[in-house]
Every structure is written in C-alpha cells, then in structure tokens.
Amino acid sequence: MPRHQPTPHSGISALNQPHGSPTPHSGISSPLVRPEPPPPPRRPLAPMPEPSLAPAPMPEPLPAAPEAPKAADLQADAQAAAKKDAESPLKSMFERFEKALPSVRHYGLDHPEGHAKVRQVHRAIVDTLREVPNGIHFAVHPFCFSDGGQTVWEPGPPNDQVPYAMASSGVEDVRIAPGVTDEEIRTFLQIVVVDPQLGLLEGDIGAALWEAGLDHIVATVRDDMADADAREQIRFFAESEEVAADVKSELAKVVTMMAQTANPNLARADRAEAAAMALTTDTASFRAAERATSVLRLGQATATALGTQLSIDKDQWRERFYDIAPAALVDGAMREDLNILLAELDAHANRLARAGKWVELLEIHDTIIDRLDGHPERESYELTTEIITRTVFSWDRIRIAFGMLNDEEKRFFDEESEMRVRQSLAAAIPQLESDMVGSFMRLANEMPEGDLRELALLYVEHFIQGNQKVIIDMLDDLEPALSQRMLAAAAETLGPRAEEMLKPILMSRNQALRCEATALLAPSPEMLGKQLVRLLASSDPSLRSASLTTMLRYNVRHAGPGLVGVIEAQDFSGRPRTEQRQMLDTLYALNPPRAESLLSAMLSRHGMLADEAL
C-alpha cells in the first residue's frame, strides 16, 4: 500500500514547531518525519511507535484567515466579469431602439418627432457597428431577437408585436451592414413598426422588406415549401395549375369587357395589359397575383418590368392608368369585390400622404372622380364619387394633412401646393361620413385660431344636426372661446329644445360655458347686460373674466353703464391689474366715447405716474 503523503500545512507546521511544544497534529504519527531525541533535562518522550504501513488519517485543515476572500466569491466575481464581457453589444442597441418606438408609433415617421427618433435609432446602430465591424446579425423569434444564442431584445406589450409579426411572416434573421443610412433605417421602421400597426401589410413583412431593396439591411425569409414532402408539393402544383387556369379565364373575360368599355384606340395587347392591371383576386388564395396586378397600386418592380417590355414612359403609364381605373372600379362594383380595389387605393393614398406627395395624391383623386363621372355604367351599380373621396380622405390622412399644414417651418408645401391642399380638404369635408364630429372638434382645439381651425370646424358645422349631444359632452375639454362657440352653435340648431339643454349649464364649473348659457337664455339684451354686470361682483376671478369676454362676444352695450359704475367704485383699485385692463378694454370696445371720458377723468385725478390709489 502506498505511503500517505502529508499535506503542505502539516509538514510545514511540524518542522517549524519548537522542540517539546505540542503541535496542532501531535496525535498523528508520520512515517516520513522522525522527531529528534529530547534534551536530557526534560522528561523523556514515550518510545516512538513502529512505522505503520497503513495510511495516516488526513490532517484537519487550518482555519482560513477571516479577512481572506473566499474562493467561491472570487469565482462568482470572475464569472460575472466574464458574463459582462461576453454580453452582446446588441443589447444596448435594442434598449435605445425600444425607447424610440413609442414616439414612432404615436407620431409616425413624417412628424418632426419621428424624424428625430429615426436619427436616434441610426446613431444606436452606427455605434454598435463600431464594436462589431463585420455587421450586426440577429435571429428573429416570435417573442424576442437573439444573437449567438443570447437574447438581446425581449420586449413587452405593445412592442412584442414587432418580433411576433416578423417571425409570423417568415423572417428568420436580419443582417445590418456597415454604411447603413438613416433613410434605410426609416424604411425598415416603416415596414416592421408603422405599417403593421396601421394594418397595411397584412402580415407580409418579409415580402415588404424584399421589395424595399435595402442595400445594407438584408432579411432571410423562410421558404414554407422547403420542408414539404413530395405529396404536398404535387398537391401544391396541381392547385397552382387550377389557379392559373382560373386566372387565364378571368383575364379573357376582362379583356373582352375592356374592348367594349376602355379607350377604343387601345390595341388588343394594350387591352390585355389593362386587364392585368384591373384583375383582382381573393387575398388568401391569390395574394401574389393581387400584388402584381392591383389596379390601384402597381409595384415598382412590376411597373419597371412591364415598362421595359412595352416601351412607355411614366406619363404614358399614368395616363393609361387613368383610362383603366374607372372601368376597373365599375367592374369591381359589378362583381361585388369593390372593397378589394378600394383597400388598394386606401393603402396607396396612405403612402403618398405620409411621404408628403399630396399634389400627386390629389391628382389621382380628381382624375378618377372626373373620369368616373363620365362612365355610362357608374350609376347602375351605385358607384358614387363620395366613395372615392372617403377612401382617399380618411381620418388618418386628414390628420396628416392638418399636421403638415400647421408646420411652422413650412417644410412640406410651397404656397401653391398648400393652397391646393386647403381647397381640396374644404371640398372633400362635406362628403365624408357624419360620425367624426368629436374627432374634428378635438382637431380644431389643437389648431391655432385662424384658417386651419375654421377648416376643421367646417366639418362640425356641416354635420352638427343630430350630433348636438356629442358636442355638449365635449365642451369641458375645449378652449374657453371654442367651447362658447360650439355651445352657441348647438343651441341654435336645437331651436325650442335648447332651453332644456342650457339650464343645467348655468351651474357648470366651466365659467365660460356658464356665461355663454346665460347669454343664450337671456330674454332681452337689457336683461343680459344686468346679469353679466352682476357676475362682476363674484369672488371668482375666472367668472368675472368670462363675464367680460361674453360682453364683448355678444356686444352687450347695455352693460356699459353698469361697467362704468364698477370702474368708478372704490374697490376698483383692489382688483388685479389684468382685470382692471380687461374692464377698460371691454368698455372701450362697447362705448369708445364713454371710455375715453372716463380715462381722461382718471388721468386728471391721478396723473400719468403710478398711483397706489388707482
């Protein structure tokens, strides 16, 4: 049996102990270390036992010094440091990416705030590319993004829709190469964040990324047929042949129809092309055909390919589109699938509006309306021009238009195009649905006083009949002047029923509405003047200010004598300076000669210098 080797602690301890002193391991005999004989004066030690071949028991370990760090702690610190070093730089990039998403969702990418967030995301990506010069690469999963098996972004609602929508449309991973531009980042955000939120992509983010043709952002899209077995492939291609036969038959019918309804100068090949533009199919079964042949949104790749074959320039293509679009709309109404065409028009209008191409959008709208008016079969299928106008001028696009028109820096329109957009909105607003009164009132409240506010109120005033309750319920949320105007407009349309609606408002905590209701219920101007002057004695300064505003709003000249009495009273000097000025301004507006006389008397008594008694 091998000899037992002593531990380093036991050997060193035994050699360093003085003779005769007990060691921590004095009860352990070792065959390798023989003690020296004791000196004569001391008591002799017991005889040393014979060496044993059996292994000696393990010595007890020495206690660790209390101030020395534990090995486990050192190991944990080392692991934490290694983990920190191994953490993907994409984590911090996606943290900055996530901070930008709320503003992108709320304002869109055409708003100044959206522009700022695009630049913020671009800076985050560029900073990350400095750490990973070979390019950014992350895998897409339904609930997160990962890098080398490490989760780099696992967002909560509502941002969890981004990885889910990308994964569900077949996107497996994304690579971003050095040199990516902010315009590419903007397009990427539009496709993966904004368009899915607006329901524009129908979940096909992979196809949209491919069609965008981004040079520095590449997405790998899963091929759903890659894992299919032979039977599934045979069945798929059999169904494809059936679909192709149906499409061929449908095209033949449409070509025949076009020969009768389209421009008679078009050759048969041109009519076939027009039929291909007009063809629409069921979105579930023929999604690819729908993209390629949509009458109202022809993709750039398709347009380029057909343009090469047909040798026509953009102006000719646009004119041909205008020739065919009305016939296609009538055909869609006849086949009861008009909604598919209108959805394409809506999506195309949304892209043009967000890109600021309002002149092009208005040209499409006006031309389709003009040519649809002259189509002989339009009335047979109740295809009204209002349907086209409501599709082009949806609420989302109206908000975009007002936001661009209200831009102080005038970045979106020159003077001529701004005037055209305003005129088109004014013409379109009366043709919209009547269920957006609340939305337009909030929009008017956001606009500054002037033409834009009046343009928004054009809708409210046009559709106020039947919507009075909606208006009354929103008055407390509006600016005082606007709330007074809307209350007066609602009361005027109610006629005799207005009194029943106005009486509860006399007790409203909104002082502007309270004074407005007082004015509307007053039996005569004389009585109104007395009631408004009486309110000037209130202890509530907001009520006193609202009373003066109402005097001006209704030009209550009968309030003049009472107002003079308030100004000449002893307690006038105790009123706030702003209120004193408002009273004098109101008196001057109602009766300039009397106000000038009163001011002259005050100056003669107190002079031009400040007087505490004034």
Of 196, 214, 199, 182, the closest CA to residue 114 belongs to 182
Tell me whether residue 503 is in a domain: no
Residue 425 has pLDDT above 60, yes or no: yes
Q: What is the pLDDT of residue 433?
A: 93
State the average pLDDT over residues 428-446: 94
Residue 463 has pLDDT above 90, yes or no: yes
Q: Check residue 539 and report its DSSP letter.
A: S
> String of b and e for 305-336 (b: at least 16 CB within 10 Å)?
ebeeeeebeeeebeebbebbbbbbbbbbbeee
Tell me whether residue 7 is in a domain: no
User: What are the backbone angles phi and psi of residue 178, rounded to the nearest 5°?
Assistant: -55, 145
Residue 346 has pLDDT above 80, yes or no: yes
Q: What is the pLDDT of residue 86?
A: 58
State the average pLDDT over residues 137-153: 90
Residue 254 has pLDDT above 90, yes or no: no
Sheet holding 171-176, edge to edge: 150-153, 145-147, 136-140, 171-176, 217-221
Tell me whether residue 344 is in a domain: yes
Measured between alpha carbons, how far is 212 from 336 in angstroms, rounded to an integer?
32
Domain boundary among 475, 508, 541: 475
User: Is 177:216 a contact under the CB 8 Å cutoff?
Assistant: yes
Which of 181-185, 276-280, 411-415, 426-430 is predicted with the least confidence, judged by mean pLDDT?
A: 276-280
What does the H/E/C string look like for 338-351? HHHHHHHHHHHHHH
Residues 402 and 263 in one domain: yes
Comparing 263 with 480, the larger pLDDT belongs to 480
Of 127, 126, 151, 156, the closest CA to residue 141 belongs to 151
281: Cβ contacts below 8 Å, ≥ 6 apart: 247, 250, 289, 290, 293
Comparing 1 with 603, the larger pLDDT belongs to 603
Residues 163 and 287 in one domain: no
Tell me whether residue 431 is in a domain: yes
Domain boundary among 221, 255, 288: 221
Per DSSP bridges, beta strands 136-140 and 150-153 are: unpaired
Binned at pLDDT 50, 70 and 90, residue 167 comes out as confident
Residues 253 and 303 in one domain: yes
Residue 52 has pLDDT above 50, yes or no: no
Q: Is 113 helix (H, G, I), strand (E, B) or coil?
A: helix
Measured between alpha carbons, how far is 29 from 23 in angstroms, rounded to an integer?
12
State the average pLDDT over residues 512-527: 90
Tell me whether residue 266 is in a domain: yes
Residues 451 and 596 in one domain: no
User: Residue 272: how many CB atoms within 10 A of its CB?
Assistant: 16
Residue 320 has pLDDT above 70, yes or no: yes
Which of 224-233, 316-325, 576-585 is predicted with the least confidence, judged by mean pLDDT?
A: 224-233
Tell me whether residue 57 is in a domain: no
Residue 45 has pLDDT above 50, yes or no: no
CATH of the domain at 530: 1.25.10
Residues 471 and 349 in one domain: yes
**How big is the chain, counted in residues?**
614
Residues 319 and 210 in one domain: no
State the average pLDDT over residues 284-313: 50
Q: What is the pLDDT of residue 460?
A: 95
User: Residue 221: how many CB atoms within 10 A of its CB?
Assistant: 17
Residues 361 and 451 in one domain: yes
Of 309, 323, 301, the closest CA to residue 269 belongs to 309
State the average pLDDT over residues 264-284: 47
56: Cβ contacts below 8 Å, ≥ 6 apart: 4, 6, 28, 29, 30, 31
Residue 85 has pLDDT above 60, yes or no: no
User: Residue 304: how many CB atoms within 10 A of its CB?
Assistant: 11
33: Cβ contacts below 8 Å, ≥ 6 apart: 6, 11, 14, 15
State the average pLDDT over residues 107-128: 89
Of 303, 286, 284, 211, the closest CA to residue 251 belongs to 286
Measured between alpha carbons, how far is 212 from 187 in angstroms, rounded to an integer?
8
Tell me whether residue 15 is in a domain: no
Q: What is the pLDDT of residue 184?
A: 92
Quote the pTM value.
0.48
Residues 470 and 338 in one domain: yes
Report which listed range, 103-112, 250-259, 495-504, 539-548, is most confident. Answer: 539-548
Q: Is 534 helix (H, G, I), strand (E, B) or coil?
A: helix
Number of domains in the chain: 3
State the average pLDDT over residues 447-459: 94
Tell me whether residue 572 is in a domain: yes
Residues 207 and 170 in one domain: yes
Binned at pLDDT 50, 70 and 90, residue 301 comes out as low
Q: What is the pLDDT of residue 33?
A: 44
Domain boundary among 441, 475, 509: 475
Q: What is the pLDDT of residue 380?
A: 66
Measured between alpha carbons, how far is 278 from 341 in angstroms, rounded to an integer?
9
Residue 526's domain comprises 522-606
Residues 390 and 538 in one domain: no
Q: Which residue has the tokens 């315009």?
A: 183
Residue 125 has pLDDT above 90, yes or no: yes
Residues 208 and 254 in one domain: no
Q: What is the pLDDT of residue 223?
A: 64
DSSP per-residue letters across 556-579: -GGGHHHHHHHHHSGGGGGS-HHH
Binned at pLDDT 50, 70 and 90, residue 221 comes out as confident
Residues 401 and 460 in one domain: yes
User: Is 114:107 a contact under the CB 8 Å cutoff?
Assistant: yes
- CA angle 395/400/401 to nearest 5° reads 95
Residue 77 has pLDDT above 60, yes or no: no
